[in-house]
Amino acid sequence: GEPKTWYGVPGSSAEKLENCMKSYAPELFSKTPDLLHHLVTTMNPSVLIRDGVPVIKTHQHAEKFVITFPRAYHAGFNQGFNFAEANNFCPTDWLPMGRCAIDHYKEMKRYSVFSHDELIYKLASECQYLDPDIGDATKFELDYIVKQEKHSRKLAYEQGVTDADRVCFELMPDDERQCDACKTTCFLSAISCLCKP
């Protein structure tokens, strides 16, 4: 098929791009804080470059791959008819970046594609089959998750949440286990109230 043109901004310059975009359309971002995560938000690359944001351009041809890295922004267009396929993968050293992405999504009140906590839990539950490097990275993430979970539960208890029920979140569809406040996909625990079960 025909090539696809890609424009990318490296993850190391993500904040610079975000600030640049917000400076040109502050009213849009005040109404929709997660606007950058909508697939319709774009800006002329020459404007970004002029404002000091590094922009990389490439053409993807048939049988070639384009890999986008964590926190990198990208946009593109097809130069004609083609079959372009996307695939998500995560090398071991990207697990902490996944956690950062989930934390960022919570701040933006953006839905996540999947539960990072659930991924880590499932990796840990199959630890005997993992490569040692993946096992070490999984343990590090699991330790972080457990520490955060204990802290969050302590805060909830201190604020008067004392009743608890067991729920198996992984048996629920993702769209039925999303937090109303931050939009994350719940896995270990959540708070509900009678006014909104």
What are 39-61's pLDDT values in tens digits?
788 899 999 999 999 999 999 99
Residue 191 lies in a domain: no
Number of domains the chain is built from: 2
DSSP output for 16-47: HHHHHHHHH-HHHHHH-TTGGGSTT----HHH
pLDDT over 70 (residue 196): no
Residue 195 lies in a domain: no
Residue 131 lies in a domain: yes
The C-alpha atoms of residue 7 and residue 55 are separated, in whole angstroms, by: 7
Residue 72 lies in a domain: yes
Residue 160 has a pLDDT of 92
Quote the domain boundaries for residue 132: 92-176
Task: Give the residue among 135, 190, 183, 144 at the shortest CA–CA distance from 164.
Answer: 190
Same domain, 126 and 72: no
The band of 197, judged by pLDDT with boundaries at 50, 70 and 90, is low
Same domain, 171 and 99: yes
Q: Give me the helix-helix angle, 116-125 and 132-158, nearest 10°.
A: 130
Pair of tokens at residue 79: 């130069």
Same domain, 39 and 109: no
Residue 186 lies in a domain: no
Give this prediction's pTM.
0.75
Residue 184 lies in a domain: no
